[in-house]
Amino acid sequence: MTAVAPVRLGHVAVISSEGERLVKFYEEFLRFWYTDDIQGIATFLTCNRDHHVINVVNAPESRLHHIAFELKDTACHAVAADSLRAAGVKQLWGPSRHTAGHNIAGYHYDPDRVIVELYTEMDQFIPELGFHEPRPWHEHLPMRPRTWQLAELNAWGAEFSFDLAQG
């Protein structure tokens, strides 16, 4: 059995009861770039070329939501899912492609019930140009930071099978 073997930590998603203040902190103090949001409920920010390294979910509690590790390539999602299944770990959602960030993402719980995302193919943001590197699956060119709707979380049409806000 091949190990899941992520190649790096990619991003962290937090739920914050003071989401707007937290976003402002990242933008104004740490100088992160805003790259997208989902109806103002989730805001994506980056300090490098990844579409997001932090995702702030504005909800009435404050805690970690998930941590995300990048896999080497898209074929690794099947290896990861099979390896997790062999270890008795079910997928919570996915792998499927997001709209914001366009990453292919699968989610599962770690032993402490922290949600772990395994992903590939995340959009790359070019701050000097203010848009995301063109990729074949983009429907908006040039794809500048924008607001996505809650109903369009999944580029392939599947519904989330778990409540991201409750996870």
Q: Interface with Fe ion by CB under 5 A: which residues?
A: 68, 117
Cβ closest to Fe ion, residue 54 vs residue 143 = 54
Helix-then-strand count for the chain, H and E: 2, 11
Is residue 122 within 8 A of residue 102, CB to CB? The reply is yes
Instruction: Show Cβ contacts of residue 118 under 8 Å, excluding neighbours closer than 6 positions.
Output: 4, 6, 68, 69, 70, 71, 76, 77, 80, 95, 105, 106, 107, 108
Peptide bond into 142 cis (omega under 30): yes
Cβ closest to Fe ion, residue 4 vs residue 68 = 68
Cβ closest to Fe ion, residue 74 vs residue 142 = 74
Amino acid at 48: N
Place of tokens 């607001």: 147
Smallest distance from the beta carbon of 114 to Fe ion, in angstroms?
12
Cβ closest to Fe ion, residue 67 vs residue 79 = 67
Smallest distance from the beta carbon of 53 to Fe ion, in angstroms?
10
Smallest distance from the beta carbon of 137 to Fe ion, in angstroms?
17
HSE value, Cβ hemisphere, 13 Å, CA-based, for 161: 11
Smallest distance from the beta carbon of 55 to Fe ion, in angstroms?
6
Cβ closest to Fe ion, residue 8 vs residue 142 = 8
